[in-house]
Amino acid sequence: MPQHLQKEIEKLKKSIMIIGTLVEESLRDSIRSVIERDSHRAKTIIKEDSVIDEMEVELEEECLKILALHQPVAIDLRYIISVLKINNDLERIGDLAVNIAERAEYLSSQPPIEIPDTVPLMASIVQDMLKNSLDALVNMDTKQATKVCESDDQVDDLHNGMYLLIQSMIEKESKRIDACLQILSISRYLERAADHCTNIAEDVEYLVEGQIKRHSYDV
């Protein structure tokens, strides 16, 4: 690998991990803002999302510049393509964290309502998926990436079970329908975040093995 290209790729590695860390913090804090009814934390997440958005655009521009100037091949090319896609998935997870924070802000303005245990359980799994997908990228570890993909089914099952839980809550608290539906939205956003974590893990598998496995876990 030419020395200049190597330096550029090292910069990409640092940038994608910085974005990943910010998104991890945003997702974690969004759930804390729900559980703790913390509107201040929720507002901070919403406000600071612009930082992630700006970094996502900058990283995409860097990737495109490297592709144009260096015309990389083989694993270098796969790495840049993977970073482009992972960058987008991380930005989307950041957006979903904002969506959760917005629901937290609403719920904190209303009388307290019990948050089903399913929500923090889903959040814990999704946060592990995000951390493990980024670790898999750093370590070029396809086994860890595969485990992330397998965890997605568990999140899907928990989200599907939320419909009955919310229906039961609405039956018990008919005056709290809006709040109940906000909780269901939070579950849906976590389920989508898990999908993006799965995308990241599949991109790691593509990076290492050179084969696209997207959708192969949907059997």
> At 161, which amino acid appears?
G
Fold of 3-209: Methane Monooxygenase Hydroxylase; Chain G, domain 1 (1.20.58)
C-alpha span between 76 and 110 (Å, rounded)? 51
Residue 29 has pLDDT above 60, yes or no: yes
Please write the tens of the pLDDT for every residue from 51-101.
999 999 999 999 999 999 988 888 899 999 999 999 999 999 999 999 999
Average pLDDT over residues 26-49: 97
For residue 72, report the phi and psi dihedrals to the nearest 5 degrees. -65, 160
Nearest CA among 194, 211, 133, 110 for reference residue 159: 194
C-alpha span between 203 and 65 (Å, rounded)? 21
Mean pLDDT of the chain: 94
Say what the pLDDT of residue 214 is. 64
For residue 37, report the phi and psi dihedrals to the nearest 5 degrees. 55, 50
Q: Where are the domains of the chain?
A: 3-209
Global confidence as pTM: 0.94
> At 169, which amino acid appears?
M
Q: Cα–Cα distances in Å, from 219 out to 150, 154, 194, 214, 215?
A: 11, 14, 17, 11, 8
Longest Cα–Cα distance in the chain: 66
For residue 38, report the phi and psi dihedrals to the nearest 5 degrees. -105, 95
Nearest CA among 4, 5, 41 for reference residue 26: 41
Please write the tens of the pLDDT for every residue from 114-124.
999 999 999 99
Please write the tens of the pLDDT for every residue from 141-186.
999 999 999 999 999 999 999 999 999 999 998 899 999 999 999 9
